[in-house]
Amino acid sequence: MPAAWLRRLVQRVRGRIAPVPHIPAALWLQVVAGYPFIATLPLQDLAKLRALSALFLQRKQFTGAHGLVVTDAMALAIAMQACLPLLHWGEPRRALAWYDDFVGIVVHPSEALARRQAVDAAGVVHHYEEILQGEAMHGGPVMLSWPAVDAAGRAGGDYATSVVIHEFVHKIDMKNGAADGCPPLPPGFLGTDSARAAHAAWRDAWQPAYERFREEVTIAERFGGEWPWLDAYGATAPAEFFAVACEAYFVHRSRFGQEFPTLLPVLDAFFRPTAS
């Protein structure tokens, strides 16, 4: 515990005295152009995102797994997607406090294979392997598959994903503990007058949407019904539904508003507090 406390103190001091790195204009424009959902942001938002990304790059450490060399362009692509949810949360240093619980970002050259174990109702332990495109650990690093990062916003069809947004939304969700689909909510959220009322308002919006989505996925899986637009992985848990919904909210806002009209104002109130 003392070591963790000292590390956080050193990071805060370094963040105050170290100059924010400069992102060359040519590099910024090159990387932004590769992600349509970022390239179409208003110029004012792009300027804010550039400042956030520069500070993020200063504070985080990138490591390539299995010999992968993480280039400046790769690190910037991750940084700007990770910072997109923080865009309207005020001054950059304050906004980035949401990510203060970790430093390391591990980038894999392909999907990662994680060994898991689960205990069934009879108490039997089952070992299995899970293929991952990303993973966020509570109080620990973020793991990302570079091909998944690079493909963000360019998937086929009307829906495109962002594994970076997904995993960093988990980090936001984990700010109060294990991810459960309800991040820490600001005072007065949706006009409420207490933390309990704010969480009740959040739950009243998300629970029916989640249950309806799970039903759509079940009908598609078992009875050959039409697959929902949102990534079916969101049906596995409320935390995954929140993360997958946030991907869609940032990558394809207009379609998300059509599919989830009751959730759009809730996410606006959370991610755009100054405008709500």
Instruction: Name the pTM for this structure.
Output: 0.86
Of the candidates 158, 160, 102, which has an alpha carbon nearest to the alpha carbon of residue 135? 102
pLDDT at 199: 95
pLDDT at 71: 97
Instruction: List the structure tokens of 71.
Output: 């280039």
Among residues of the chain, what percentage have pLDDT more than 70? Answer: 82
pLDDT at 112: 67
Q: Give the pLDDT confidence of 129-177 residue by residue, as tens digits.
A: 566 789 999 999 999 999 999 999 765 555 678 999 999 999 999 998 9
Grade residue 21 by pLDDT with cuts at 50, 70 and 90. confident
Grade residue 226 by pLDDT with cuts at 50, 70 and 90. very high
User: How far apart, in whole angstroms, are the C-alpha atoms of residue 91 and residue 95?
Assistant: 6
pLDDT at 276: 47
What is the set of domains in the chain, with CATH numbers? 21-176 (1.10.472.150), 180-276 (3.40.390.10)
